[in-house]
Amino acid sequence: MDKPNIIIIFCDDLGYGDIGCFGSEVNRTPVLDRMAEEGIRFTDFYVPSPVCSPSRAGLMTGCYPKRVGLDSGYDFSVLLPADPIGLHPDEITIADVLKSAGYATKMLGKWHLGDQSGFLPTDHGFDSYFGLPYSNDHYAGRPAEKRTHLPERFSQHRFNPMPLMRDDQVAELEPDQTFLTKRYTEEAVSFIRENKDQPFFVYFAHLYVHTPLFPPKEFLDKAENGPYGAEVECIDWSAGVILDTLKELGIDDNTLVIFTSDNGSTARMGGSNAPLRGTKATTWEGGMREPCIMRWPAAIPAGGVSHEVVSSMDFLPTMAKLAGVDAPDDRVIDGHDIRPLMFGEDNARSPYDAFFYYGTRNHELQAVRSGKWKLHLIANELYDLESDIGEQHDVFARRPDVVIRLAALADACRYDLGDACTGIEGANTRPVGRVDNPRPLTNLDEMSTNVRALYDIDDTVGIDYAR
């Protein structure tokens, strides 16, 4: 079999219960539902953090964020504009691995792993990049009352203009976010067409459904679930455009498409993590268990469902094998090759003896899962996720044997990765990237009149929402 093309569609703050094939009755997602019917759905898929930047660090490197020093931002739970830290230039990403195997590599959308030179997508294996370097809420017009939770250095001045980047340069200021998904989708289609005769990798990191919401009118007029549902349905539309393009070009059979999200929903404005407990920024299941669909007609049997524990950290080692190369062997990689589970092989099982849940900002290990059991270390609560997916019935007092076993796994993790709660630093972590004198990508006080005029841009895009 030829090296497969690989597309990762990565949403922002999409909840476990936000799409039809994972239980939503208010958001219409026919494309994603069909994608699940034609591929495999993972019900116990995890990301390694309940917030944006650390989760994306885990996806890109195949490691727990704490392993690579990015389990939080500089002085906030995620990276902020002009933070002095980011993904270390020496880290090896999925894009680096696939590029070494002859893939053309493209990133679209939200990066959020550092906005300084050395931290950007084109510094980490991507041939080209078009998108926002951080969250879509860091824009110049954001109301002052929405900034009060941010560090003092950030909340005392107005936001600088949001930069839309082309490769490592600012291309536009304050792009109309209503049209960004459409523009990203057109870029994805153009890249796929240009590279249809060679293996390619597309990492499409949506701005949806992170707040503030900017749904296109075409979807808002039809959505039953308000602006939130409109954005979910726009994500579905975008996936449909991409899948239709693959079929039109005759490369559908040998293209692996993965759909998932960076962390759980805030469960506000129409979002849902049902039937899970908790939200984004928590280590309850609703913060870190995500919907995940994989479709590859030539290799993944249709209609599959896996209840085995897998993670976004598994993408790097798995994709390395699919591309015919090895994952890095000069460093610890926490992810695993999950091809047997993807391909529905008999008796395929999760490669995880344990999966660990780290909290945000406090750098502490908060929970561990092994098999069906999940132990919350701070609260001293134990749940059987097989029979109690919503974490409602604590059996800590009734199963001391399980508590002792999972506590030992947690101790080993603390030694390996560290835990601020116990003061253990961790024996096998790597440094985060750092720069001196970081500067914002955009600064109103330094901009000329001509640069300011970039606010007025043309939002006309070639692809029609109706396809």
Output phi, psi for 59, to 5 deg. Answer: -60, -50
Strands 85-86 and 433-434, sheet pairing = antiparallel
> What share of residues in the chain are helix, strand, coil (percent, to 5)?
30, 20, 55
Size of the chain, expressed as the number of residues it contains:
467
260: β partners: 10
CA distance 284 to 110: 25
- In this structure, what is the dihedral angle of CA atoms 245, 5, 202, 226, given to the nearest 10 degrees? 50
DSSP code per residue over 224-270: SSHHHHHHHHHHHHHHHHHHHHHHHHT-STTEEEEEEESS-----TT
Within 10 Å of residue 349's Cβ, how many Cβ atoms? 11
**Which phi-psi region, left, alpha or beta, contains residue 269 (left: φ > 0; alpha: ψ -120 to 50)?**
left
Task: Give the list of residues 6+ apart from residue 461 with CB closer than 8 angstroms, or none.
Answer: 179, 182, 183, 186
Q: Are 173 and 120 in contact (CB under 8 A)?
A: no
Distances in Å between the alpha carbon of 346 and those of 49, 340, 342, 394?
30, 8, 11, 33
What burial class does residue 94 get, using C-beta atoms within 10 Å of its C-beta: 0-12 exposed, 13-18 middle, 19+ buried?
buried
The encoded tokens of residue 337 equal 């090759």
Q: In the annotation, is 112 catalytic?
A: yes
Which of 52, 63, 234, 292 is labelled catalytic? 52
Within 10 Å of residue 107's Cβ, how many Cβ atoms? 28
For residue 258, give the nearest of 228, 286, 288, 300 by alpha carbon: 300
Which of 11, 63, 88, 112 is labelled catalytic? 112
CA distance 116 to 139: 17
What burial class does residue 277 get, using C-beta atoms within 10 Å of its C-beta: 0-12 exposed, 13-18 middle, 19+ buried?
middle
Task: Give the list of residues 6+ apart from residue 144 with CB closer than 8 angstroms, or none.
Answer: 158
Distance spanning both ends of the chain, measured CA to CA:
31
Q: In the annotation, is 393 catalytic?
A: no
Q: What stretches of 326-394 show up as alpha helix (H) in DSSP?
A: 339-342
Catalytic center residues: 52, 112
